[in-house]
Structure formats: structure tokens, C-alpha cells
């Protein structure tokens, strides 16, 4: 044992004091949720984990994720006790000029994934545990969960997939304090029931008294001794606010700081040292390095024939294979749709760079965030419609400024007969609503391959939207694309209207342009393949050239998609007819649906004429 029980107790006492002081100073925060887990965190940080306090980026450090992110004061206190922060810094909690935010974010180097939306930490931890194996760097990952958040299904998605992949380097520690925000939890103090659930999901699980240090330390040892290849869960019975009698296990103390007037009374109960405070870090065994990254952008060869039919979703798979071959950091994740998204191409070509995540999209995104935190470049794919399942996880990946790429296939009504539940019609709006995101929407196979390569180069969230039906190749193999770019695919000196499309609607726009040309009406056609950021200069030039006559057409609902992105650029400079899906679609053949819902060449022609 590296740290004595008495020292661990003393650390726990100090963690409590820090948590109380910081929240009282801030006037808000979650001291009681911090106090219930203080003893668990003491053992995890000061007995179990191996990490170098001077080197947060050491790839061999054990990892810790505070899934119950509202206990942030406790986490910051642990860093202070580990010598990573100064104790005075803790008193800047929740200030505008402090990185010690209300819930942890990766603005701080020791935070891998943002938490605070409950039930997401175990997925992030699973991603890190899988990264350990993939990168060949041995470390353990510890995730501290609250009991209330175990009601989130995403916890059980992570649990079952951790078991499937036998991640014996993943620990879930559940702080069962029995109280939620507004009332008792469903299972209250029934730690046995929590353990049964984890066991049913294939975990090695133990229950402990979460305020008994000997119990906690022994549980970790038993996990290592008896856990075999299973992930490990320690279910700890605790009391919210433990250590301070007037807040301990009391209702209506969730998310409330102890008032300044009562702080001394609280600290008085914690005034007696319980052991020595001399802790030495348990350093990782030896320097470890991540697999090397390519020195610059990867150049891929694209070999398509102009005019041939190819689905952009299939080109996505082709591009992944080429890129992942050149960059071992790339890894594809799929939710049992790999034969539709064509990520199976990568699975077949490079099985070690593919992870089947089954039908559990929330966990898939959380795992991707964890993988990205450990240096991987994860590409997450499923039907565009089903990415909505993980919007909260995508939102949190955004707050984490995570380097995760998303691909949504089967967008829009053009998927055809499967019907509205399978049609991605909200996906652009979802990704446009993020503060920092790139949205790429290729119209042909060449563009797809080039855009997937750009996604690898860009650091941050990228969304790639692919189409189910085949579309003709319209770009030369060496055509260059860029994030924030667009292509003018029809143009003349006498363009009377500009049509903006992307994906399948670009081809409808081209058909419309040809038909209009045969009537002597010249139009400009723009492929807005970079939906976010948009190519403002090209759109504004088109607006100027056409006296502000513009049509934008998209296979997406009218709210928040390509059309709205265009409006933001040309507002004040153009009149725009926006064609989009405006009702809940039916099943039917793709072409019939495109026509019925008003986004086909016929409706584009009518829109153009309405502007003349």
C-alpha cells in the first residue's frame, strides 16, 4: 500500500474542507454531493491511481472522470491535495475569470471530457479504456458516478459494451448517497440492487461502505484479484453531506452552498487532523508515447469516372480506408449500420481500426469522446436520423472541444420507402446549433473523399452528411475542396437567378438549370458543400450577379438547415425562395418523395420563375 489509511482519512478530511470553503465562497455549487464521495476520491487519487502530477499529458497516467460533474469542487480539491492546484485557487470556483467552472470542462488540462450532463462519464471512460488497449499503453480508468445518474440509459449502454469488450482496465465507482436533486433516488440505499444490475450486465461488482477506508481499499484489491477480464464496479453506500451533521443526509441541500454564517460551524466538525498529510505520487511505470501522427495532411488518390453513379455513403467508406491506412489514429465506430454507412469497408481492410458499438448511439458518441481524449481521431457513423439519439452527448463533445467526426448516412426523404423514422431531416439543424462545428455535405463521390480527408485535418467536431441513393460523379478526381468553400457548377454572364443546393438537391438543381437553359433562362448553380462555415464571398457574388434572386433547396426540414445558413449570409442582399421539406413525409420511392415534398427540379424551376 502506497498510502496509509490514516493519511487517506486526512486527505478525505481536507477534501471536505476545500469543498465547503470553495462553494461557500462562490455562493453556489454542490458541497453535499462532494462530501458523500470525498472518501472514495481520497482512495482513488491517493492510493489507487498512478499519475504524474507534474505532467497531465503523460499518456501512461491513469485517468479519472467525474461523471457526477456537479461534484466539481471535490475534483478540484483532489488536484489541490495532489499539488496540481494551489489551495487558494480553489476559492476562484465559478468565477468568470477562473477555469474552475461549475462543472468540469477540458479548459483544465486534467479534464478529459466535460461532464455535468449526467450519465455520460462511463462512456467516456470506456473510450479511454479502449484507447489504452488500441494504443498499447497500459493505464486504468476510474469513473465516479452518482446513484441518481444511473437512471440514465446511457450508463447501461456503456456497461454492456464495456463487458462485451472485456475492458478490465475500467472501474466504475458509484456513490450511492440515496438523494437526487429533488427527492430520494429510485433505489435509495439499495447498493445490492446496483451491484446486481452491474453483474447482470457482465461486470465484477462489489458493495462497500463508502465512508470506511479499509472497506474501500480492500474492494479495489479484490477487484484486481478476482475481477478477471470483467470491468469492475464498486458500489458504495454513502451519505450526502457526510462529515457535517447539519447537512448530512438531509433533503433540500442539493446544489446549495453552506451560508457564510454557518461555514465555521461546519468546519468545526472537520477540525481534527486524522493522520499525516505526506503523500507521494504513484508515478506511471515508464515514459510512454502515443503512436506517431503523419507529419502533414494525408494525400489520397481519388479514382472516379465523371458521370458514373456512386453513393456518397459508399465513398465515405472508401475514403476512410485510405485515410486510416495512412494515419493509425483514425478509428471508425458504428452502431450496427456498417453495411449501410459502409464503414464495413474499414472493418474489412483494417479490423483494428474499427469498433462495433451496437445499437447504442449515446454510448458510441461518449466512447468517441474518450478515444479522442487519448489521441485517437474517431469517426462515428450511423443513419443521420439516429444521431439525434445522442444530441446531448454531441453537445457535450462540443463543450469538450473534442476531435470527433460524425457521419450521418440516409439523410432526407431521398432514402425512400423506409419512411420518416429512418429519414435524417433535422441533422443539419442539430450540428448548426453547436457553437463550434463544421458541416460538410458532399454531392458526389469525389467530393466525399476529399471532404473526409479535410475532416481529418480539421481539429474539432466535423459532421459529414451522406446520401443513400447513388448520384453521378460531377467533379474531376483532382478537384480541390476546402472547409468554408463552395463550387459554382453552372455559370454564365447572364445568370438571372442563383440556385444553391447540396447533396441530392444539387443534382435536382442541375436538372432544373438544364431545363431552364433550354428555355433561354440562365441560372447559376452553387454546390454549398460546406454548410458551416459557408462560402460567403461566392454567395454574395451570386446575389450581386443575379440582382438578389436566389433559390435554396435542401433535403431537410425547413428549420435550421442549409436554407437558414444561406439566409444568414445573404440577408439584406437577396430575396430567397427556400425549398425544404415542410411536413412529415411518407414511405415511397425516392424520386416520388423528392417531388411530393417540393425539393425536386420541377419545384426549383417554378421557384426560379417566381423570382423573374
* Residues 573-592 contacting a second copy, CB under 8 A: 574-576, 578, 581-584, 586-589, 592
Residues 562 and 605: their CA atoms lie apart, in Å, by 19
Name, in order, each residue with C-beta under 8 angstroms of 546's C-beta and a sequence gap of 6 or more: 495, 496, 497, 498, 524, 574
CA quadruple 93, 96, 100, 102: dihedral sign: positive
Selected from 362, 402, 466, 546, the binder of a second copy by CB under 8 A is 362
Which residue in the block uniquely carries the three cell numbers 458509484? Answer: 174
Q: 46, 79, 457, 499: which is closest to 277 by C-alpha?
A: 46
452 burial via Cβ count (<10 Å: 0-12, 13-18, 19+)? buried
Place of cell 462512456: 123
Nearest to 361 by CA among 330, 393, 332: 393
Residue number with CB closer to a second copy (76 or 279) = 76
Q: How many residues bind a second copy (CB under 8 A)?
A: 115
Binding mask 342-361 for a second copy (x = CB under 8 A): --x-----------x-xxxx
Please state the three-class secondary structure of 164-189 as a single string.
HCCCCCEEEEEEECCECCCCECCCCC
Element at 158 (helix H, strand E): helix 153-164
Segment lying near a second copy (by CB under 8 A), choices 8-16, 381-389, 493-501, 601-609: 381-389
Find the shortest distance in angstroms from Cβ 550 to a second copy. 9
**Footprint (CB under 8 A) of a second copy, residues 297-326:** none
**Residue closest to 74 by CA, chosen among 117, 24, 116, 36:** 36
Per-residue binder mask for a second copy (CB under 8 A), 486-515, x = binder: ------------------------------
State the binding string over 193-222 for a second copy (x if CB under 8 A, else -).
Answer: x--xx-xxxx--------------------
Tally of residues, the chain: 612
Listed ranges 10-18, 47-55, 288-296, 567-575: which one lies at the site for a second copy (CB under 8 A): 567-575
Residue 229 CB, shortest distance to a second copy, in Å, is 15
Q: Which is nearer to a second copy, 42 or 115 (CB)?
A: 115
Helices (H), 477-597: 504-518, 536-545, 562-570, 590-596
Torsion region of 293: left, alpha or beta (phi above 0 gives left; psi -120 to 50 gives alpha): beta
Q: How far is the CB of 276 from a second copy (least distance, A)?
A: 35
The DSSP H or E segment spanning 607 is: helix 601-611
State the catalytic residue, choosing from 361, 426, 449, 508. 361
Is residue 386 involved in binding a second copy (CB under 8 A)? yes
**CA distances, 572 to each of 537, 544, 568, 569, 609 (Å):** 15, 11, 9, 9, 21
The Cα–Cα gap between 281 and 276 comes to 15
| Residues 243-262 close enough to bind a second copy by CB under 8 A | 252
Least Å from the CB of residue 209 to a second copy: 22
Binding window for a second copy (CB under 8 A); candidates: 5-13, 135-143, 303-311, 558-566: 558-566
What residues numbered 83-102 form the site for a second copy, per CB under 8 A?
Answer: 94-96, 98, 101-102
Selected from 182, 271, 303, 478, the binder of a second copy by CB under 8 A is: 182
Element (DSSP H or E) covering residue 123: helix 121-135
Q: What are the angstrom distances between the C-alpha of 598 and each of 411, 513, 558, 581?
A: 16, 16, 11, 7
Each residue 401-430 as x (binds a second copy by CB under 8 A) or -, in order, gives x--------------xxxxxxx--xx--xx
Pick the binder of a second copy from 18, 21, 524, 532 (CB under 8 A).
532
For residues 254 and 490, which CB has a smaller minimum distance to a second copy in the complex? 254
* Interacting positions 115-174 with a second copy (CB under 8 A): 115-119, 148-149, 151-157, 160-161, 164
Nearer to a second copy, 59 or 600 (CB): 600
Tell me the closest approach of the beta carbon of residue 525 to a second copy, in angstroms: 20
572 interacts with a second copy by CB under 8 A: yes
**Cα–Cα distance measured from residue 62 to residue 49, given in angstroms and rounded to the nearest whole number:** 6
Q: Which is nearer to a second copy, 51 or 386 (CB)?
A: 386
| Shorter beta-carbon distance to a second copy: residue 17 or 161 | 161
> What is the separation of C-alpha 41 from the centre of its chain, rounded to a whole number of angstroms?
25
Give 47-63 as a 3 state SS string. HHCCCCCCCCCCCCCCE
Among 180, 275, 291, 598, binds a second copy (CB under 8 A): 180
DSSP 526: E
Nine-digit cell at 61? 497516467
Please tell me whether residue 453 binds a second copy under the rule CB under 8 A: no
76 binds a second copy (CB under 8 A): no
Active site annotation includes 361: yes
Minimal distance in Å, beta carbon 443 to a second copy? Answer: 22
CB of 575 to a second copy, least distance (A): 3
Cβ at position 340, least distance to a second copy in Å: 7
CA 311 – CA 305 distance, rounded (Å): 13
Q: Interface with a second copy by CB under 8 A: which range of 111-119, 260-268, 507-515, 520-528? A: 111-119
Q: Which residues are catalytic?
A: 361
Amino acid at each position: 500500500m502506497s498510502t496509509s489509511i490514516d493519511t487517506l482519512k486526512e486527505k478525505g478530511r481536507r477534501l471536505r474542507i476545500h469543498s465547503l470553503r470553495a462553494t461557500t465562497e462562490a455562493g453556489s455549487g454542490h458541497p453535499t454531493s462532494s462530501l458523500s464521495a470525498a472518501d472514495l476520491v481520497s482512495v482513488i487519487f491517493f492510493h489507487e491511481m498512478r499519475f504524474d502530477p507534474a505532467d497531465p499529458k503523460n499518456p501512461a497516467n491513469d485517468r479519472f472522470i467525474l461523471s457526477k460533474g456537479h461534484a466539481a469542487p471535490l475534483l478540484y480539491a483532489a488536484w489541490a491535495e495532489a499539488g496540481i492546484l494551489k489551495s487558494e485557487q480553489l476559492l476562484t470556483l465559478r468565477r468568470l475569470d477562473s477555469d474552475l467552472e461549475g462543472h468540469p470542462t477540458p479548459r483544465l488540462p486534467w479534464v478529459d471530457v466535460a461532464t455535468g450532463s449526467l450519465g455520460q462519464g462511463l462512456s467516456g471512460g470506456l473510450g479511454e479504456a479502449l484507447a489504452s488497449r488500441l494504443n498499447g499503453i497500459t493505464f486504468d480508468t476510474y469513473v465516479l458516478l452518482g446513484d441518481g445518474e444511473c437512471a440514465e440509459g446511457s450508463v447501461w449502454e456503456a456497461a454492456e459494451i464495456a463487458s462485451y469488450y472485456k475492458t478490465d482496465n475500467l472501474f466504475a465507482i458509484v456513490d450511492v448517497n440515496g438523494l437526487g436533486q429533488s427527492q430520494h433516488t429510485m433505489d435509495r440505499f439499495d447498493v445490492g440492487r446496483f451491484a446486481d444490475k452491474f453483474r447482470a450486465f457482465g461486470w465484477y461488482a462489489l458493495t462497500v461502505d463508502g465512508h470506511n477506508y479499509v472497506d474501500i481499499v480492500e474492494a479495489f484489491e479484490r477487484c484486481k484479484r478476482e475481477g478477471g477480464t470483467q470491468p469492475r464496479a464498486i458500489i458504495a453506500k454513502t451519505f450526502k453531506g457526510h462529515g457535517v451533521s447539519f447537512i448530512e443526509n438531509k433533503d433540500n441541500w442539493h446544489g446549495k452552498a453552506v451560508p457564510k454564517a454557518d461555514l465555521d460551524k461546519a468546519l468545526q466538525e472537520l477540525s481534527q487532523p486524522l493522520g499525516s498529510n505526506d503523500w507521494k505520487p504513484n508515478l506511471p511505470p515508464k515514459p510512454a508515447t502515443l503512436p506517431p501522427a503523419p507529419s502533414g495532411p494525408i494525400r489520397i488518390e481519388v479514382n472516379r469516372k465523371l458521370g458514373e453513379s456512386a453513393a456518397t455513403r459508399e465513398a465515405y467508406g472508401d475514403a476512410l480506408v485510405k485515410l486510416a491506412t495512412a494515419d493509425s489514429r483514425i478509428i471508425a465506430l458504428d452502431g450496427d449500420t456498417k453495411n449501410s454507412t459502409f464503414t464495413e469497408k474499414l472493418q474489412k481492410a483494417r479490423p483494428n481500426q474499427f469498433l462495433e458499438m451496437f445499437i447504442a448511439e449515446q454510448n458510441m458518441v461518449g466512447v468517441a469522446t474518450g478515444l479522442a481524449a487519448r489521441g485517437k481521431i474517431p469517426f462515428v457513423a450511423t443513419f443521420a436520423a439516429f444521431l439525434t439519439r445522442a444530441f446531448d452527448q454531441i453537445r457535450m463533445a462540443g463543450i469538450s472541444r473534442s476531435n470527433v467526426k460524425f457521419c450521418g448516412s440516409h439523410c432526407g426523404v431521398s432514402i425512400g420507402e423506409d419512411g420518416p423514422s429512418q429519414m435524417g431531416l433535422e441533422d443539419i439543424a442539430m450540428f448548426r446549433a453547436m457553437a463550434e462545428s463544421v458541416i460538410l455535405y458532399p454531392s458526389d463521390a469525389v467530393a466525399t473523399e476529399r471532404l473526409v480527408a479535410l475532416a481529418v485535418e480539421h481539429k474539432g467536431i466535423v459532421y459529414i452528411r451522406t446520401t443513400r441513393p447513388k448520384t453521378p460523379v460531377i467533379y474531376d478526381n483532382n478537384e480541390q475542396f476546402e472547409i468554408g468553400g463552395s463550387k459554382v457548377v453552372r455559370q454564365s454572364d447572364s445568370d438571372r437567378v442563383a440556385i444553391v443546393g447540396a447533396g441530392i438537391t444539387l443534382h435536382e438543381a442541375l436538372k432544373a438549370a438544364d431545363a431552364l437553359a433550354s428555355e433561354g433562362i440562365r441560372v447559376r448553380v452553387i454546390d454549398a458543400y460546406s454548410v458551416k462555415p459557408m462560402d460567403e464571398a461566392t454567395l454574395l457574388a451570386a446575389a450581386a450577379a443575379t440582382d438578389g434572386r436566389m433559390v435554396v433547396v435542401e433535403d431537410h426540414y425547413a428549420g435550421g438547415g442549409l436554407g437558414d445558413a444561406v439566409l444568414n449570409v445573404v440577408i439584406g442582399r437577396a430575396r430567397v425562395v427556400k425549398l425544404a421539406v415542410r411536413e412529415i413525409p411518407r414511405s415511397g420511392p425516392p424520386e416520388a418523395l423528392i417531388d411530393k415534398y417540393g425539393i425536386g427540379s420541377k419545384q426549383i424551376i417554378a421557384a426560379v420563375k417566381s423570382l423573374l
